[in-house]
Each structure stands twice: as structure tokens, then as C-alpha cells.
Structure 1
């Protein structure tokens, strides 16, 4: 290996009487050169941190295997010990330092990790707790006022009794467990619902036909036990300083219900393709960064032909596209003899 400063890690085990001692040993930063190429690990028991892992069953959720991982400044959780090993009297020792525990619980499979910064494990006995009946949940949003069509980023958090966060859950029938996300209006009626939402994060595009008001967002999980969490947000139809609002009419003094929009940023060349349906009075809200755009709108009409608009707009802004500005265009195809195929 090249000369330089390195940190080395050793994973191993040894039998002591009827039990087995497992180790994860780390060196301090070590200089490697042509005159120094010996790596020394301190494996003396009274110099190490002994880790005890205590699991409490969750709502009759009793795993057949629990594996605990610990990392210290590495990209992955690099070593661990199973519940069965600990129950059998095996011991687990690490070089004292700051570690972040993560737990992999198999059949019922769960991944959990401690929240916050890595915690310090010192020389002597150290105990890690996880599991328990008191499972809690909360949900946070990236902001709390939205426009129709905006992307809402949802961060759910499920924790066990000791504050460890659930990362993923596989139940005893080998199905990955996910949450349901619901949006409820002021009458507590569900106006949006989506299942199969991951435990770590999710995003929802808010429907264009949502009315102004205060809504409740709720997450629901059935595993490892039924649990809910909710928060509130405000839906505004006032564009303010964010995005663009287009009101699109169609012939017959009607409003568009479904349309396709293409926006070209005249400064950067960025293209935005957007489809919307179930519009209220032809209003569509499109998230877009500030700038000058050329807008192309394509929407069906009641009598069959499509209405097409082309216009320059500024973002943020509000624009009305009136059907009175449209011209009806008849198209015909002829062959080389002038025969008309259709119009």
C-alpha cells in the first residue's frame, strides 16, 4: 500500500470457555511508511467497550433473529452480533469511541437505527435498548402552505420505545410493509389517498381541484401495530410569488377540464411538461422557477377539435387564455393531382 495516514479495522472472534467473544477493533490514525508497516490493535478486554443489546417484544412482534450493527466513521454498518449469540452468553467488544447502532430484525424483519448523532461507547459495560410496546409516529412536511399541483414532501417517523427509528419492515409473510397517506378536508372527508408509501419519505402531487382551506395529512401503518400520525397544512389558490397560474377557456364560453402544457424557459432552455385534469374553472397551477417562458397549451373542446394556445409569459404570474382569441383552422390533405382526402 502507498505511504500515508490510515485507520485500520479488525473484525474477529475467539472462544472463551463455552461462549464466544466477538470484536470490532479500530486503530487511531496510523502513519504507514517504509520504516513503519506494523499495525497494532489493542484487544485487552479491560481497555474495550463491552456492548449489551436488550430487546423488548413489540405488540406480539417477536423476532426469531436480531442482528445489531455498529459503525464508526465508515460508509456501511460493518459489524454486529445476533440476539441468539448474546442470549447464549457471547460477548461483543469494540474499541471505545462514537458509534451509531442499527438493528436488523429478521422474521419479522425490521431495520431500525438510533436517531441523532453517534453516541459514545466507553470502556466497560454499555447497553443498547430497542423494541417495546410504546411505538410512536409523527409526520413532517417540507412546508405548510401549498398551491394545487405542487409537490408535497412527506417525512414520516416511526420510533420504538427507546427512540430508535424504523427504516423498513418485512412481516412474517415476507411482504414489505408500507404506509397509507391520506388528505382530509375540514369536514374530515378523505379527498386524497395513496397506499404503498415507504416508511422513510414520500412525495404527493396535490390535485388541481383542491379548494382553498386547511387540510389534514394523515399517515397510517398497521405493522408492527396499528398507528397513525397527522399534521395540518394550508392550500391556497393565490399564486403569490411562486409558479404560474393559467386560466384556460374553450369555445362556447366553457373552461378547460383537461389539458397539456409545455413551457420553455427562454433564458435557460429548460422544458417543463405538465398534464392536468379535473380543473376548477379552467385554472391550472404549475410549479416553475422565476423567468421568461413560452407556453404551449393543448386542450380538448366540446365539439371535438383541440384548442391550442401559444403565448409568452413571465413567472411568477397569472394569465387568462380566452377562447375568443382562437381562430378555427381547417386542414386538408391533397395528393399530387389535387384530390382532397379530408379536412
Structure 2
């Protein structure tokens, strides 16, 4: 195997075709604009194959590419055979109504299990927790949400992030500024949430504000239009990402776009235009999934070249190596009686 190529991590996170790297996969992962890989069920055959795949990906570059997967539990768990079957997040919200302390302990153990298993196979990020409040409107969120009540979401998400940190993993809160208030699935089309900023602050923004105070590592944007707040959907909005998330909430972590191939992003030009607009709004890691032509276009989109500083920020999302001592940030400490 050749020596790893030294280059800063770029702003694109892309997918690969199957359970092993193709030549085209390898070429794309060595492009300077790429900084990470997202894995799907098609990339998983068994635990040994997964470990071999991630070792190959990690060996390509230095610093190593970020490797992520959607691994929440319930409906959203890409790897199942050989991994613990995890319940949907809503179970912990229901448990918290009767026994808050037990729910906090259980959701922390849930997240620690995710981290323990994924870190062992060379994966950096599970793209969790969901911070959307379940208002009974969004089927695509539904039982992926911890609860309807923002304070309960904050308490349980804090315990979840404790578990990830204990297992050596960073956290990703999604989908900023909140997907729970719309019926349309942003995978299919662009939803509109017509609440004003005061209403949004009191409801769906509250969990993000609370978790930012507790040291949330990264945030994933929502492809949702809030016409009473800004003309641009959140992913493409400097107002949402710079004025609100960075300015008002004081977020200092990594901003990750949701997949720009999704229907909710389709109205914003071709791939090059979407990627450039997301980067201009403030997205530092931009997801492109399940469209190889879009990935090819994106790597030639004329994005700003990765800087050493930007690469270093992305490297903060690398998981701790197996066996390394993980430190739980003080900001994630939660009292057991907080419900």
C-alpha cells in the first residue's frame, strides 16, 4: 500500500459505491476538495469487511478523511448484523415522563454503545443526536426525535452527548434550526415553516441553543425555508448560519450541510451552484450522497481551497482511536433529576 498523501481536508463529504473502494472512489477521495466519506447500508457486508474498508479509507491521506454514518437507532441505523439493535430516540422521551433519571442513564448508554461499536470499526461520526422537536407533523422525523418538549430534548440530548464523548466520539445536532414543524419531507421537496422568529426561538431553536451552551461539536443544517425569517432556506442562509447560529447562539463548532442532492436543495441551481451557495452561507462540510455525477461536478466547482485552519477544525471531529482514554467535556454534565 502506498504512503498516505499529505493534504488538508477539503469541504466535501461524499459517498462510495459499494463494500470496497473502486478506482473512481479512490481517485475522488484523493481530490483536495474532499474531506470525508459517508457510509450507507450498501457499504456494509459484515464487521470484518467494514473494518477493512475504513482502514483503507483512513490510509489514503494525512490527516485522515473523516468517516461518518447515520446511526441513531430505530429506523436510522445503517449497520445491523453484528451491531447492537438500538431503539428509536422517542422511547427515551416517553420513559422520561415517568422516570427522568432512568431515561437519562438509558440514553447515555445508548450513545456510548454507538460510539464503542463504531469507533472500533474506524468510524468518526454517527450524525446524531436529532434535536428536532416532534410536533406530530413530520413523518420523516417522528420517533427519531427525543420528545416534543424542548427542555426534555435538551436534557436527553445532553446525556446522549455524554455517552458519545465517553466513547470517543463527537456529536452532530440536527437539523438546524428545526425540522419538526413541517409535514413535507425535505428529501423529496423544499418544506416551508411559516412561524416567525419569536415562535421559532421559543420552540425548535431552543434545543440547539441549549446544546450549543453545552459544547455541541457540530450542527447539520435543514433544507427548510422559513419565509418569515429569511428568503433563503437554512442551508443557504447566511442569516441563519452566521447571524443566528454563530452570532446569537455563539456556536463555535463545525457546520455541516444536509445532503445537497436532496429534493429540498434541488431548486438552487446545479451542483456547483448549490455547493458554492452552501459554502458561502457558512457550511464547512458539505454532504453529497447517491449521485456520482453530482460529486464529479462538485470537485470541479471552484470552491475555495481548503486552508490548514479549516482542515484543523474538521480534524476535531475525528474519533478517539480504540483504547484511547476519552474525556467527557464538563459542559455535557447533566443532573439526573433534570427532566
TM-score after normalising by structure 2: 0.19
- Computing the radius of gyration from Cα coordinates, the structure with the larger value is 1
Q: Which has the higher contact order (CA 8 A, sep 6+)?
A: 2
| Larger strand proportion of the pair | 1
